[in-house]
Structures are given as structure tokens and as C-alpha cells.
Amino acid sequence: MRIMLHGAVNLSNYGDYLFAELFYTTLRNKGVQAEFYNHPKYGISSFFVEHLGYKPEKCSLKEMVKGCDAFVFFSGGYFVEPSKKGFLAETRHIHRYLYPASFFMHAGKPIYALGVGAGPFKNAAFSKKARTILNYATKVTVRNEESLQYCEEFGIKNDIQVTADTALVIREYLEKEKQNVPKFETENGKKMLLFHIDSNPEVTAKLKESVVPATVRFLKAHPDYQLYLAADGIKKERHYQNYEAMFAGCDPIVLKYDDPWKLTRQIERADLIITTKLHVGIVGSALGRSVVSFPFVPNKTLRFYKQIGEADRCIPLKEITTEIAYQMLEAFKDRMITVPQELIDKAKLNLELLPKG
């Protein structure tokens, strides 16, 4: 059997890479040949190719449809409207994520959407295409109750199962598949405060205004913590330097992102994590660390922390003040997260439901 895996594979994003590898490895372990879309703009990036050890084929989408038995959306927010509004952004979103599935649908081949986010459905063009695909799909699982509610309210009639974010299986995957990746060791024996940097200018400005001063204050009050700066995608040197300058008096240690599994080991070691993104926080939660989340795009992130019973750890970045951020760091510095086993088992279903060879 040959399957086309589809998702956000064209850059170097940490969460997207984890999904790609989890699904790719699971299919291979089931005896299934897995392929990725090799589009020049939206197809698999050299970063993914290198770290997956994948050899892409040069073939058109029509050739991919002809040569594959089924199409799989691996976990991600492909049925969530793009955060950037406007005709161009919405058209790109459709072409990047939904357009390839249409070819498989018209060929009468099975489509799976496993562990995806969905809704709201407000944009007419996107919503119509999403509803058509979700109603056609052989199997649909969504990562939270809100996604299911959006689908039902929008009139999607397919049988949809609520699971959880696939990244919650990370501990078991590390133990089974990544024993060769060395544990991360801190440099001076202090507790590890992992500050997740962002290259988005608007996010950086807000972090500088409120979260950075709170973090500096926290480090002064707790000299037993060492600050580490980490990213969840390939960044330019100036991005790291910008955050180093913000924390000039704190002697930060910079962890440059070049390998998703090195970052996973760093998260695993961290005692306290500050992040604006979803999957650094999900992995930290799954590995039993303490996470404080200030999301810039809040909806999907708020859904996750609510789902695991930790909603008070997550406040949208636009609502954060220095005092609130500091109080959150103090409140959660020694409160590690335990994700309910029921949710981890639900996350495993996204992989178990993949077609078998």
C-alpha cells in the first residue's frame, strides 16, 4: 500500500515536523509506503527531507493520485481558517492544504483526517471546500471538543471522533524510537528556565514589553534558575541576538534550533517553560514539565490547556502585563503538569487509525 501524507511540511516548524515523523514512522512500521507532496512551494522542505531520511520523488499531483491508494491529513489545523485574513491568505490556505485532497476525492480514493483542528467556518470559499472534504472522508478525528462542535454547527454530517493532539504520544515515541538521542545536560547544575523566542516582530515587541521584564524579575528572585533561549524553527542570527540583548544581564545560554529531537530533549530537561506557541507547550506538558503559555494566536492553544485541565496556565499574549506574567511564573514554577492518561490514549488513536499495509 502507498499513502500520501499531507500537512505543513514546507518549512522547519517543530510541531509540524513532529507530526510528519510520527505519522511517517507509524506507516512504515505498518508496512506502508508513505509519500509527501513534492510541490515546489508547498511541498516537503529540505529540512524535513534531511531529518526524516526521506527521498522525495519528482512527480505531479496527478501522478501522485494515480500511484497512491489513499490520502492522509496528518495532525494540524488544516480545517481552521487562516489567522491572516484577506482573499490572498485564504486562497493560499486552500491551495496549500485542501486542494491536493480534492484530487484524491475526485478519483474516488479514501481520505483520512486524523487529529486535525477545525473551525470556525466563516469564509465561504474555504468553508465550502472543507465541508466537502470532511463529509467525504473515510475517517475523521479532531483534537478537541470545540472542533467537533464547529463541524456539527456547520452541518458536517460525517461521523467525527474526538481524540487529542497527536504530539501527546511523545514520551512513548522517545522511549521506542529515539533512544539514540542523548539527554540534554545543563551547564551549571541550576534549574532550567526555557524561554521560547519568536521571530515575529509583533510577538517580539509584546514579549519585550511584558514577559521579558517579568522573566528578569523572576530570575533575580530565583538565582537557582539558569535562563536558556530556544526556538521552534530555523531562525536568523539576528533573532537570537535580539533576545540575548533583551536578557543581557541574565547571562542567557542560547540553544540554536537545528534538530527537532535535540529541542525535544531540551524541553524534557526544562524545569519551567515560557512559550507563545502550541507545540512547545504540548510537548512540555506531555513530558511532565511546568509550562506557562502566552499565545499570540490563542484559540487552539486555549483549547489545549482547557482540555488537560490547566486553563489557568494560558493567557493570550495581548492580555498579558508584566505583573500578571510574573505572578504566573511564581505560581507555576514548581507545579509540573500531568496529562491525563485518557487523553494520551486518545492521541494514540490518531496513529492507530492509519491504514495498514
Note whether 2-162 and 191-340 share their fold. yes
C-alpha cell at 322: 508584566
Nearest to 282 by CA among 301, 259, 309: 301
C-alpha cell at 209: 514589553
> What pLDDT, on a 0 to 100 scale, did the predictor assign at position 218?
98
Domain range annotation of the chain? 2-162, 191-340
> What pLDDT, on a 0 to 100 scale, did the predictor assign at position 298?
94
> What pLDDT, on a 0 to 100 scale, did the predictor assign at position 292?
98
Q: What is the pLDDT along the chain (357 residues), one digit of tens a residue?
A: 999 999 999 999 999 999 999 999 999 999 999 999 888 888 999 999 999 999 998 889 999 999 999 999 999 999 998 777 788 888 889 999 999 999 999 999 999 999 999 999 988 899 999 999 999 999 999 999 999 999 999 999 999 999 999 999 999 999 999 999 999 999 889 999 999 999 999 999 999 999 999 999 999 999 999 999 999 999 999 999 999 999 999 999 999 999 999 999 999 999 999 999 999 999 999 999 999 999 999 999 999 999 999 999 999 999 999 999 999 999 999 999 999 999 999 999 999 999 987
Side-chain-side CA neighbours of 225 within 13 Å: the count stands at 24
* Class of domain 2-162 (CATH, top level): alpha beta
Nearest to 253 by CA among 245, 244, 265, 262: 244
CATH architecture for the domain at 191-340: 3-Layer(aba) Sandwich (3.40)
Number of C-beta neighbours around residue 45 at 10 A: 19
Long-range own/partner contacts, residues 294-297 (CB < 8 A, 24 or more apart): 294/207, 294/211, 294/320, 294/325, 296/198, 296/200, 296/202, 296/203, 296/206, 297/83
**CA 126 remoteness from chain centre:** 22
Q: Contact at 8 Å (CB) between 273 and 194?
A: yes
